[in-house]
Structure formats: structure tokens, C-alpha cells
Amino acid sequence: MAVVKTATTLEEMAQDLAERASENLKGVILDLLRTGVDVGREPLLLECSLSGLRDSTGNSIDQIRVASIGLDARVSPPVISSSPIGHQTSLIGRKREPSPKRRKLTELGSEHARTFDQEVHNFVVTSQTGGDVGTAVRTELTPQHQIMQRSTLEKFLAGIWQSIYSGIKLDPTEIIEQWQAIESSGQPRLLTTERDSAFRRPSAAQTSFERMNVLTRKVSQASRTCRSLEVIVQAHWVQCFDDRVAELTLSLPREKAKKQTIVEACMGFSWSEKELRNKMGVWRGYHDIALSGGWAALVFAGMGLYRFCKYRSSFTAGTFDTLKARKHRFEVAADTLHPRWRHLLGIIGRPTERKYTGHPHDWVVAGPGDEALPLPKTYHQWDKDFSYTHLDEANIDADFWGASDPRTVSSPSSDGAYTCDTCGEHQSDDPTANYCSCFPNLYGSVKAVPAPVQIFRTPNGKNNGLIACCTVESGAAIGEFIGQITSGLADLDVMVGQTDSTTYQIWQGRQGNHTRFINHSCRPNSEYERFVWLGTQRIVLVSRGVRAEEEITVDYSDVYWRDLDKVCLCGHSQCRYNKRGGNLPVAPAPS
Ligand SMILES: C[S@@+](CC[C@H](N)C(=O)[O-])C[C@H]1O[C@@H](n2cnc3c(N)ncnc32)[C@H](O)[C@@H]1O
């Protein structure tokens, strides 16, 4: 292991070595696990030693043991289910089991059925248990897992996605508004309307808390926006520095041109050369990130940006290729979720108009570095008029169901309350009255953020698919299966839902959400579960442990494939349907 050259203090050197060791450790342990050794039941001991060291006279030193780290027995091994594919029932999906979060490890079956396509494959509802599909793994991530699983680059990328998909608003008008408010009234503008306050008669502490919530949000937002402006300007400064060096190089040797440019900069900043060089190192990092991953990567980089650029342990060609490959994906998400973020670029004279408009899923992200494609274009070969309406919640077909919702399974208690039949807690759409947190990103919380997923061009003939931007831990919801709640459709792909009294169809052909783009895999990383929210049956797509940048897949079930004249392209070594008679081209547009 080479000692890092850029470290200026022992602490930095230690930090760099520790980061690089943790980056490599996961791969080493994974290789070991793949040999079939059994871990997870006994405490483990990790011994670390360092070799390749020299003493102050340059003589090599034998290997030194630097640490002996005990890992307790909380490493949960995956479980391979071996039960055969089971029977069909009239239930869709697996019913959510009580308190899944408290289970350490649970075997789950693959129990869902789905169809789409132009042929008739009504989604029949199966409840299969395990079988060759059922590598059901539901483990809680221990702190050790989390540390070992993510490299510095992965953490940096996760930081970008998290801030794009978080509630933050990057908009220069935020700062201007704050400033104008302070200028005109002598204090930041605090918003709670008088009507609200009078109506609710809040206590003094509540009023003060509400006002501070607003002020703190506004100031944090303004400061986050300023931080983005700062890194944009600093990255652009590096470009101007390089341009000035290039200009001076026309009349001076390169080293002298660089020296003169540094002196000019020191004068401008009133800094010593050492101070400038230290800052420049980090700013060059910002510049390189913007150059490869685009401005969105830099603007939305999370808290780790400074460290990432200061220690540069991940500054390899591979990192910049990775960022380059994500450039348009970051832009699709940033442009559609933060329509004004590009206004920040106005400060350095860059175009401020957004490239990708509309809904995040109006765009299909393509191969590494390729621009995203408009969604309808990816279906033109099957349907010239393809269009898709993105729904936040299911749309009941009033022609068939009138004003009733066929998914209703229970009524509220006499006081109008609903109780979750999974966790037993009180459910409410009002976050202050809701205590059910079975799927907090879908129900009962303050404004759900969009799922960090994108529609992507699959490289192997499945047309589009769904890719996860960030890791989705096992047991977390990826989305609700949403579409038109209807009945009586024939010759179309639908999911069939059933309650004790009614059978209904969910059709996603022209309206729905991201779950419509999920492909089948014989080894899926997600599954459907039935869940009841406020007395209404829902079908929730739940992760079995999806890694960042992985395609999200589900098992469509044997029922779906039984009558389908296609081969499965999931590519899994244990694929059940890749050796079939038919090999028709994939025709994925459901109509
Ligand atoms: C719900 S759509 C999934 C999204 C679809 N790939 C698209 O571009 O719209 C279902 C259709 O995708 C295709 N598909 C999904 N999984 C597949 C697989 N493992 N192998 C081949 N085709 C698949 C089939 O055409 C299927 O009818």
C-alpha cells in the first residue's frame, strides 16, 4: 500500500489509508464468502497488518500488525429457500406480515403475478411459496454491513442522488427573497398566517416553534444555495486559471506562466501561495467533477464533497468515467425535480434553461453518457401515439365503479379511526395523527418524496426497465402498484385484485407510475405485498435488498409466462423461461 503523497498531516495520512482499506475490504470479504465459508453464527475476528513499510533510514520493516477487530455475531447469513413452487390462490401478492422490521431474517416466497403486453395475460393472482425463484433474503443491515458495503465513490454518488431526491430547493430566488425581507423589515420574514394561528389558538411555544421551523428552513435553504453557488464559482475559477496559464504560455515557458498566474491570483485573493495552492487542490476537484459528471453532479453533491476533493482517494480514471456515465441521469432528475437549479449557473454566464422538462419519468435514461430519450419515442415502433400519464394515486374508473372503491376491505371504527392490521397502530393521512410506519415513504408522512428510480433502456432487448439510483434496503417500499382501477378488460395486461367481496383490475397501460416499467427476473430483487391503508387494499412493491445502480425486478410468476410466446431475458443462470419454443421480439407496450 503506497503512502499517500498529498497528505499534509499524520491525521490526513491515517484517514486516507483507512478509507482505501475500507474500499477494498468489501471485495476481499465477498471473495471469501463466495468460496462457501460459513460466517454469521459465531463472533468474527478481523486481523489487519501493514507491510511494505520502511524505517527512517530506508530499510524495509517486516509486516506490522495494526489492528485486531472483533465483529460480533450479528452478521446475518442469506437463506436459500428450497420449498417447491406452490399453489395458486385468489390473493394478489404476499400479505404484509406483522412487524417486519423486528424480524432479523425471514424467508419469503415469490408470490405475485403480473402481466403486461399486447397479448392477454390477465394477472392472476398467485401465492407461490419459494421454489427455485425463492432466494428470499430479508436481513437487517448491521452497522458492519453498512460500513463494508459502500466505497467512497459509492457514498459520494449516493450523496448526489439523495440531495436531488430530497426536499431541498436549490434556487437563487431563495437568497434574494431572504435578503429583501431582511432589508425591508430589519429581520428575516417569518411566515405563519394570522388566520391559521387564530383558528388553532396555538400556545406560545407552538407559535415560536412554528416560526423557527420556517426561519430555519429558509436560512438552511439559502445557505445550501449559497454553498452551491460557491462551488460553481470555485470550479469555474479553475477553468479561468487554466485559460490564463494557456494565454501566458504563448509568450512564457509553461512553469513561468503558471507561476505568474498564481501570483496574480494571490494578489486578487490576498492569500499566501501556500493558502492558494491548498484551496486550488480542492477547487480543481470541483472542476473535474463538473467536467465529467456535469454541473448537476457538483451542485447537488452532498456533505462529502469537500472531503472527497480534499483527500482525492477516489480520484481515478474509473471515478470520472462513472461520473460521466451518470451525467445525463443526474440532469434528468435535477431538471425535472428542481426546475430552477440551472439559474445558479447564471452566476458564471452558463445557460440557465433546463434541458429535461416535465415528469422525471417522461425520460428514459440511456447508455453511459448518452442523452435521455423522451418516453413515447421508446414505444414508437409499436405505437406511434404512445403517451403516458403519471399518477400519484390510483384512478378509479367511475364508468364501472361509480363513486365506490372496489378495493375497500374495512370500515373505520365508530370514532372514524383506522387501525393497521399489520402493526396494530392508528393510521391517518394527517401525519400528526398517524402512528403506522409500515411504509413511511408511501403513507401517513409529511409529503412523500419521489422514489429515487429512473426508467432506463435495458441493454438486452427488454426495451425499458427500472433502475435504482440509491440502495433500497430490504423491506422498504419501492412504490405502490398504481393505475386505473377498472374491471372487464379483455386482451390487455392487467393486475387482478381481489377482496372478500369483489374482483377488480389495475390497468397501467396509459396511466400509472414507475412500477409499470419493472421487468421480470427469475431471481427478482423485489416482490409485491398486499397492504391495507385506511381500509383500502393496496399492492406495494417491496425491496428484497436492491443495490444502487441495479435493475429493479420482480417475478411475474409462472402464470404470466405460461401462455406467453417469448423467452425470458433476465439472464439469470437459473432462469426458468429462457429455453422456450417462441422467440418473438419483445413487444412491451401494454395497450
Ligand atoms: C410491464 S412491462 C415492463 C417494461 C417493458 N420492458 C417496457 O419497456 O415497457 C412487461 C413487458 O416487458 C417485457 N419483459 C419484461 N421482463 C422481461 C424478461 N425477463 N424477458 C423478456 N421480456 C421481458 C415483456 O415484453 C413484457 O411483456
Which residue is it, cell 445557460? 351
Average pLDDT rounded to a whole number, residues 300-327 = 94
The string over 353-381, giving b where at least 16 C-beta atoms fall within 10 Å of a residue's C-beta and e elsewhere, is ebebeeebbbbbbbeeeeebbebbebbee
Whether 395 contacts 405, CB under 8 Å: no
* Closest Cα to atom 8 of ligand 1: 464
Identify the top-confidence range among 179-193, 234-248, 488-502: 234-248
> What is the predicted pLDDT for the residue at 85?
23
**Closest C-alpha to ligand 1, atom 23:** 462
As a whole number of angstroms, the distance between CA 517 and CA 497 comes to 19
**Ligand 1 centroid – CA 329 distance (Å):** 22
User: Cα-atom radius of gyration of the chain, to the nearest Å?
Assistant: 28
Secondary structure (DSSP) of 22-71? HHHHHHHHHHHHHTT---SSS-EEEEEEE-SEE-TTS-EE--EEEEEEEE
Spatial distance between the Cα atoms of 213 and 24, rounded to a whole number of angstroms: 42
Tell me the CA–centroid distance for residue 519 and ligand 1, in Å.
5
* Strand extents, DSSP E, 344-463: 363-365, 373-374, 389-390, 395-396, 418-419, 426-427, 453-457
What cell was used for 353?
434553461
- Which residue puts its alpha carbon closest to atom 26 of ligand 1? 588
Give the model's pLDDT for residue 57: 65
Which residue's CA is the nearest one to ligand 1's atom 24?
588
Cα gap 381→388, rounded to integer Å:
16
Q: What is the rounded distance in angstroms from the CA atom of residue 166 to the CA atom of residue 452?
A: 9
Distance 588 CA to ligand 1 centre (A): 5
Instruction: Read off the pLDDT of each residue in 538-556 and give the average, rounded to a whole number.
Output: 97
CB 452 within 8 A of CB 365: no
User: Is the pLDDT reported for residue 127 higher than 80?
Assistant: no
CA 516 to ligand 1 center in whole angstroms: 10
Ligand 1: centre distance to CA 463 (Å): 7
Ligand 1 centre distance from Cα of residue 395 (Å): 23
Atom of ligand 1 nearest to the CA of 464: 8
Please give the distance, rounded to the nearest whole angstrom, from the Cα atom of residue 482 to the centre of ligand 1. 17
pLDDT tens for 34-46 read: 666 666 556 677 7
CA 18 / ligand 1 centre spacing (Å): 44
The yes-or-no verdict on residue 7 having pLDDT over 60 is: no
Q: Which residues pair with 64 in a beta bridge?
A: 50
Q: Indicate the top mutation candidate among 121, 482, 513, 519 to test ligand 1's pocket, ranked by most ligand atoms within 8 A of CB.
A: 519
pLDDT value of position 94? 64
Winning range, highest mean pLDDT, from 14-18, 28-32, 297-301: 297-301
Atom of ligand 1 nearest to the CA of 570: 19
Site residues for ligand 1, CB cut-off 6 Å:
116-117, 462-465, 516-517, 519-520, 566, 568-570, 586-588
497 DSSP 8-state letter: E
Query: Averaging pLDDT over each range in 12-21, 197-206, 452-461, 491-500, which range is the top one?
Result: 452-461
pLDDT above 70 covers a percentage of the chain that reads 73
What local confidence, expressed as pLDDT, does residue 181 receive? 72
Which residue among 463, 493, 506 is best mutated to probe the pocket of ligand 1, counting the most ligand atoms within 8 A of its Cβ?
463
Number of CB atoms found within 10 A of residue 291's CB:
18
How many angstroms separate the CA atoms of 369 and 320, rounded? 12
Considering only residues 195 and 27, tell me which one the structure prediction assigns the higher pLDDT. 27
Q: Which atom of ligand 1 is nearest to the CA of 114?
A: 1
Can you tell me the distance from the alpha carbon of 294 to that of 155, in angstroms, rounded to the nearest whole number? 18
As a whole number of angstroms, the distance between CA 259 and CA 245 comes to 9
CA-556 nearest atom, ligand 1: 16
> For residue 566, which atom of ligand 1 is closest to its CA?
21
Residues in the chain: 591
Locate the ligand 1 atom nearest the alpha carbon of residue 569 and give its number. 20
User: How far away, in angstroms, is 356 Cα from ligand 1 center?
Assistant: 25
Contact present, 46 and 71 (Cβ < 8 Å): yes
- Ligand 1 atom nearest to 466, measured from its CA: 4
- Rounded to whole angstroms, how far apart are CA atoms 545 and 543? 5
In the reported structure, the alpha carbon of residue 26 is separated from the centroid of ligand 1 by a whole-number distance in angstroms of 33
The whole-angstrom separation of Cα 329 and Cα 296 is 10
pLDDT at 141 over 50: no
- In order of 221, 337, 408, 419, the CA distances from 405 in angstroms are 41, 31, 6, 19
Give the confidence band of 102 by pLDDT, cuts at 50, 70, 90: very low
Least confident window among 101-110, 186-195, 286-295, 532-541: 101-110
Band (pLDDT 50/70/90 cuts) for residue 104 is: very low
Residue 532 contacts residue 410 (beta carbons within 8 Å) = yes
Q: Which atom of ligand 1 is nearest to the CA of 508?
A: 1
CA of 586 to the centre of ligand 1 (A): 7
Give the rounded percent of residues in the chain with a pLDDT score beyond 90.
Answer: 57
DSSP string, 433-496: T----SSTTTSSSSSPPPPSEEEEE-TTSS-EEEEESS-B-TT-EEEE--SEEE----SS--EE
pLDDT band at 148 (very low <50, low <70, confident <90, very high): very low
The Å distance, Cα 93 to ligand 1 centre, comes to: 19
State the angle between helix axes of 317-337 and 152-165 in degrees (0 to 180), rounded to the nearest 10. Answer: 10
Q: Is the pLDDT of residue 79 over 90?
A: no
Minimum mean pLDDT range among 256-265, 343-352, 438-447, 502-511: 438-447
> Cα separation of 216 and 214, whole Å?
6
Q: What is the mean pLDDT of the chain?
A: 80
pLDDT confidence band for 14 (50 / 70 / 90) = confident
Ranges 60-64, 209-213, 302-306, 432-436: which has the least confidence: 60-64
Instruction: Please state which of the ranges 100-109, 233-242, 311-320, 357-366 shows the lowest mean pLDDT.
Output: 100-109
pLDDT, tens digit (0-9, with 9 covering 90-100), for 232-283: 999 999 999 999 999 999 999 999 999 999 999 999 999 999 999 999 999 9
What's the gap in Å between 11 CA and the centre of ligand 1? 52
Atom of ligand 1 nearest to the CA of 378: 8
Q: How confident is the model at residue 328 (pLDDT cuts 50, 70, 90)?
A: very high
Give me ligand 1 centre to Cα 65, in Å. Answer: 53
- The ipTM (two decimal places) reads 1.00
Query: Whose alpha carbon is nearest atom 4 of ligand 1?
Result: 517
Residue 282's Cβ-count burial label (10 Å; 0-12, 13-18, 19+) is buried
Q: What is the pLDDT of residues 385-421, one digit of tens each?
A: 999 999 999 999 999 999 999 999 999 988 889 999 9
Mean pLDDT value across residues 35-61: 66
Closest residue to atom 25 of ligand 1, CA basis: 588
Candidate of 460, 586, 591 to mutate for ligand 1, largest count of ligand atoms within 8 Å of Cβ: 586
Q: Taking the domains of the chain in order of start, what are their residue ranges?
A: 153-188+211-357
CA of 365 to the centre of ligand 1 (A): 17
Specify whether the CB–CB gap between 112 and 554 falls below 8 A.
yes
Per-residue b or e along 420-437, where b marks 16 or more CB atoms closer than 10 Å to that residue's CB: bbbbeeebbeeeeebebe
